[in-house]
Amino acid sequence: MSKNKLIHKPLFNPEGDTEVRNRRLIGGNTTNLNDFNNMKYSFVSDWYRQAMNNFWIPEEINLSQDVKDYPKLDEAERKAYDKILSFLVFLDSIQTANLPCIGEYITANEINLCLNIQTFQECVHSQSYSYMLDTICSPEERNEILYQWKTDEHLLKRNEFIGNIYNSFQTNKDARTLLKVMMGNYILEGIYFYSGFMFFYNLARNGKMPGSAQEIRYINRDENTHLWLFRNMIRELREEEPELFDNEMIEELREMLMEGVRQEIAWGHYVIGNDISGLTPKMITDYIEYLGNLRWTSLGYEAIYKGKEKEPQDMAWVSNYSNANMVKTDFFEAKSTAYAKSTALVDDL
Ligand code: ZN
Ligand code: ZN
């Protein structure tokens, strides 16, 4: 296959290859049969089980304390809450719309199974924000928050970076652009959500908006599996198509990650700044650069930000909220639902 050629996945394809060892992430001859018995990508069975165990329903989380807290948030907290929610709605919406575009070119059916489940979960996330907004504020406030990117240039700029990467694949249907879209997903799942998540967790540790933080913890748990999926997809693609990962491409991917980190830090400073009790701009910078290192080294490359290789001590509380392994006893067992019965979360990122 030429270095950059990409073929559209066939649909009904009785002549497709059923031989597992011939299965390929891209450029394969798939039958599209949902075969759970013969899988090439061994992580998929664990991933599938985890994703199914993670099933949750936004309305099962009680927001009555949040209804009382929201009007009492100080101005900086309310502004940050609204803007971060607006950004998260955008991210989950564009994920929902874009994931099927990736799936059209993935010729390993078991990977498409995962992408479809991910798409479903992104829908649930978008709906959870609607539930939060409908519960805590008026319809006018809600609509203002949903479409803030139309009036806030910072928010628009943020959405443009990821939106343009995804858009480029609408016109350039080639392997290099697909890889960049996969990297865009990885950055979105692994870096972009985080200053938002940490803000909600910080509110919760200050005793405010506990229901919102719980919603976010469920979302965070799903996003961890999405990160796991795309990390593995990128690594598998590198095994199968090593010529795609030339020095120029690796440099481009690295630059994308660094731009994602820069944007996340600038955004964190803009929405959170120095006005939120419990968070400072330095904490945001340190944490996001640490995440940048974690994501890039998880792909097998050298750390980018020197001295930021370890989780900053003053941010250790974030994992108490975001790490499902640590919270399942006090958090997941504390709610009365039969769904969240997952055992240890496989999270080796
Ligand atoms: Zn999501
Ligand atoms: Zn996601």
- 311-325 per-residue burial string, b: 16 or more CB within 10 A, e: under 16: eeeebeebeebbbbe
Exposure string for 118-142, b = 16+ CB within 10 A, e = fewer? bbebbebbbebbebbbebbbeeeeb
CA 295 to ligand 2 center in whole angstroms: 15
In this structure, which residues have their CB less than 5 angstroms from ion ligand 2? 223, 226
Of the candidates 316, 35, 342, the one whose C-alpha atom is nearest the C-alpha of residue 201 is 316
Closest ligand to residue 126's CA: 1
Ligand 2 mean position to 234 CA, how many Å?
A: 16
Q: Pick the ligand that lies closest to the CA of residue 122.
A: 1
Ligand 1 centroid to residue 80 C-alpha, Å: 19
- pLDDT at res. 335: 43
Q: How far is the CA of 96 from the centre of ligand 2 (A)?
A: 9
Are 180 and 165 in contact by the 8 Å Cβ rule? The answer is yes
The amino acid occupying position 289 is E
How far from the centroid of its chain's Cα atoms is residue 265's Cα? 17
pLDDT in tens, the chain (349 residues): 467 899 999 999 999 999 999 999 999 999 999 988 999 999 999 999 999 999 999 999 999 999 999 999 999 999 999 999 999 999 999 999 999 999 999 999 999 999 999 999 999 999 999 999 999 999 999 999 999 988 999 999 988 999 999 999 999 999 999 999 999 999 999 999 988 999 999 999 999 999 999 999 999 999 999 999 999 999 999 999 999 999 999 999 999 999 999 999 999 999 999 999 999 999 999 999 999 999 999 999 999 999 999 999 999 999 888 876 544 434 444 443 334 444 444 444 4
The answer to whether the CB of 259 falls within 8 A of the CB of 187 is no
Confidence (pLDDT) at 325: 55
Q: Which amino acid is at 54?
A: N
Ligand number nearest CA of 127 is: 1
- Which residue has 């830090």 as its token pair? 265
Ligand 2 centroid – CA 158 distance (Å): 17
Q: Which ligand is nearest the CA of 123, by number? A: 1
Tokens of 306: 């020197």
Give the pLDDT score at 216: 96
Whether 248 and 3 have beta carbons less than 8 Å apart is answered as: no
What pLDDT is stored for residue 342 in this prediction? 46
Instruction: Give yes or no: 129 in active site.
Output: yes
The CA 72 to ligand 2 mean position distance, Å, reads: 31
Q: Which candidate in 70, 81, 129, 166 is catalytic?
A: 129
- Distance from Cα 223 to the centre of ligand 2, integer Å: 4
> Rounded distance, CA 83 to CA 333, Å?
31
Cβ atoms 346, 228 nearer than 8 A = yes
Q: Which residues are found with C-beta within 5 Å of the ion, ligand 1?
A: 92, 122, 125
Query: Which ligand ends up closest to the CA of 117?
Result: 2
The per-residue pLDDT for 227 is 96
Q: What Å distances lie between residue 41 and 57, 69, 111, 225, 235, CA to CA?
A: 29, 46, 8, 15, 11
Closest CA to 202 of 49, 77, 21: 77
**Global pTM value:** 0.92
Instruction: Report how far ligand 1's centroid is from the alpha carbon of 215 (Å).
Output: 11
pLDDT of residue 322: 86
Helix (H) / strand (E) element for 88: namely helix 75-103
